[in-house]
Chains A and B, each alone.
Chain A
Amino acid sequence: MKTRNSLALSALGVIGFLLLWEAVARSGIVPAQLIPSPSAVPAAFLTEFRSGIWQAMVAASLSHYLVGLSLGAFLGVTFGTAAALWGVWDACQAWVVRMLRPIPAIAWIPFAIMWFGISEAAASFLIALTVFWINYYATYAAVRGVDKDLIELGYAFGQGGLVARLFKIVLPGALPGILSGLRAGLGQGWMTVVAAELFGISGLGMRMGEASSLLATHIVVLYMVTIALLYGVSDFLFMQVQSRVLSWQR
């Protein structure tokens, strides 16, 4: 299908979805508080924006997100690479990893609050945890998958030492897989932002919690849309960087 046609259809889909939503909300089939109409969202945005709450919440969440994301991604890539390259370390941590992996980040919320209090650090910690596992596994698989022939090439051309091998062959070779992990972490990170902040840590999640307790559902929807947009923007920016970094791929 032509790109222009498919873009037009995608836009049409969004409009259709919004119209259907508005129709259901206005029909009175369900109470207005259970399904707020989308046309109420712009007004909600203006109120929140004029009072400065919206900007403050976005800034707070963004800072939790960026700290957690960079910490989790850095540690995930580092530990994933180490485990994939170093057999002894891999064996030592294999069972521990299998034990910890199935525990979702939000299950750590009690500990996060005990360790860090209701604080920014607690939110960043939970986000970092989510992002860490995704990057850890993606990197591990990517590094394991690097073509052994290229490693041999390194040895054949005097680039077999650990540093040269790591930076000239292993990491560039694993880069596509590592970047996929980063991208997946980017999305999961936003989901954790909401969960972490619902417990009263200032940010989008907290504001959603406040609004829902007052049954101000149109404000809840406003922040849902905000998260979707923030995710969309971060994913778009990441894809721009990714396609530039991987321009050597066909």
Chain B
Amino acid sequence: MATVKGAPLSGAAVIDLKNVSIGYGKDAPPVLVDVDLSVERGSFVAIVGPSGVGKSTLLRVVAGLHKARTGGVTIHQDPRPAHRPVGLVFQDARLLPWRRVVKNVQFGLEGLPVTSDERLRRAEEALKLVRLDGYARRWPYELSGGQRQRVGIARAMAVDPDILLMDEPFGALDAITRNNLQDELRRIHRETGKTILFVTHDLEEAVHLADRIIVLGGTPARVVRDVRNSAGRDGSVFREQVEQLRLEIADNYSI
């Protein structure tokens, strides 16, 4: 079910990072250097690496929330940081506690030239996508951790972004909920054809979900490995394949 709207040629780079380096504060040494990364439309890319390596910050650079120290970021060849067609999903769901679920989902739409009827329609559609129709009138505190994360995904999907940026979205969930949501995310990816950039520290999760895995490591960190992965994608997850990739990637952690 492809929903590519007015898109450039399929397989064209949606996200382009050229020689990006990232640091915090003016004089501190950079944490992440020499990142060249080109992400194709519709792909599911996982970024893995030990904590503190700058994974989440890299995601924020792509979102236009954090300025790269050097290098360039373009989305559809456009370098402007504002109004990027991205939807963000955070590890802590980050719902506004004073808004009911449906209003939370509409949050990003309020900045767009969309009528309130249309906002509601799109919010309900997004809730259906994450299988939370019927929860529209709930308050966030009434939801479980997994449900909150679903609302976070719906909120990101409601603006119909080209790119879904996910920052360890399942990191705080219990194993069963996490597995469910991973399957849901794969379904959503299949159904909507969104480009997904997914940060995680969990290699199994990366192997399970992504068709491409970028491994960051070292000090300062750089891309140490860029793996094409077919283990998760075709639905036949072979234990050995996962294990082999895991070992291969784990080797690179020590670099």
Contacts and interface: CB of A to CB of B under 8 A. Distances in A.
Interface in A110-128: none
B97 interface: yes
Interface of A: 149-150, 152-153, 155-159, 164, 168-169, 172-173, 175, 247-250
Contacts of A175: 98
22 contacts: A149-B94, A150-B96, A152-B65, A156-B63, A156-B65, A157-B107, A157-B108, A158-B83, A158-B108, A159-B107, A164-B110, A168-B96, A169-B96, A172-B98, A175-B98, A247-B139, A248-B97, A248-B98, A248-B100, A248-B140, A248-B141, A249-B97
Given A157-B107, A157-B111, A158-B111, 9 more contacts: A150-B96, A155-B65, A159-B111, A168-B107, A168-B110, A169-B96, A173-B98, A248-B98, A248-B141
Interface of B: 63, 65, 83, 88, 90, 92, 94, 96-100, 107-108, 110-112, 139-141, 155, 159
SS class, residues of chain B in contact with chain A: loop
Most buried by B among A158, A164, A168, A249: A158
Given A152-B65, A248-B139, A248-B141, A157 B159 contact: yes
A159 B139 CA distance: 21
Nearest to B142: A250
A158 B159 CA distance: 10
Contacts of A152: 65
B88 A156 contact: yes
Nearest to A155: B65
Nearest to A157: B108
A244 to B, nearest CB: 13
Contacts of B139: 247-248
A158 B100 CA distance: 19
A229 B241 CA distance: 76
Most buried by B among A156, A164, A168: A156
A158 B114 CA distance: 13
A205 to B, nearest CB: 39
